[in-house]
Amino acid sequence: MTDFDPAKFTSLEPKQFAQLVKSTPDAEIAALMKSDQRGMILDEIFNRMPTLFRADRAGATNTVIHWNISDRADGGVDTYEVVIADGACTVNGSPAQDPKLALTLGPVEFLKVVTGGANPVMMFMTGKLKAKGDLALASKIADLFNIPKA
């Protein structure tokens, strides 16, 4: 692996992380996301989501979103629950509620979406992102967060 050092990830600003994802080959990201570093990377990304949430754009949105990131080394899926309610965003690593929207995508695609390197609507149209439930919410989900761009 080149510059993608998970140990340094927690010290990177969102924009720096976005640049790192953009400059790292997909095959390297895929290999990293099958390693034992995957959980730390996903936890860090989801832990940052509440700070990137744009309450001013959410309006009266109250929803539960499940992010399903596939292609774990054991063939499984990691699921994180994002709850948007009363102008706030919280994240739960152990989903407890039924989602209004469930998004399923691979780890490379996930990292590209959360760093502004991919358009979720185009990914949906090409089958790289699967959405089940509230598709109107899916189409505007990127607007609810201040997504760093490289």
Q: List, run by run, the mean pLDDT of 10-residue segments along the chain (150 residues).
A: 58 83 92 92 92 93 96 96 96 94 96 90 91 92 84
- Which pLDDT belongs to residue 9? 64
- Which pLDDT belongs to residue 5? 63
- Which pLDDT belongs to residue 142? 86
pTM: 0.90
CA distances from 85 to 36, 37, 70 (A): 33, 31, 26
- Cβ neighbours around 27 below 10 Å, total: 9
Distance CA 79, CA 66 (A): 6
Per the CB < 8 A criterion, the answer to whether 17 and 47 are in contact is no
- Which pLDDT belongs to residue 92? 93
Q: Which of 37, 137, 39 is nearest to 80 (CA)?
A: 39
Distance CA 32, CA 53 (A): 27
CA distances from 65 to 49, 89, 138 (A): 12, 11, 9
Distance CA 142, CA 113 (A): 8
Per the CB < 8 A criterion, the answer to whether 83 and 116 are in contact is no
- Which pLDDT belongs to residue 1? 43
- Which pLDDT belongs to residue 7? 61
Q: Which amino acid is at 87?
A: G
- Cβ neighbours around 108 below 10 Å, total: 23
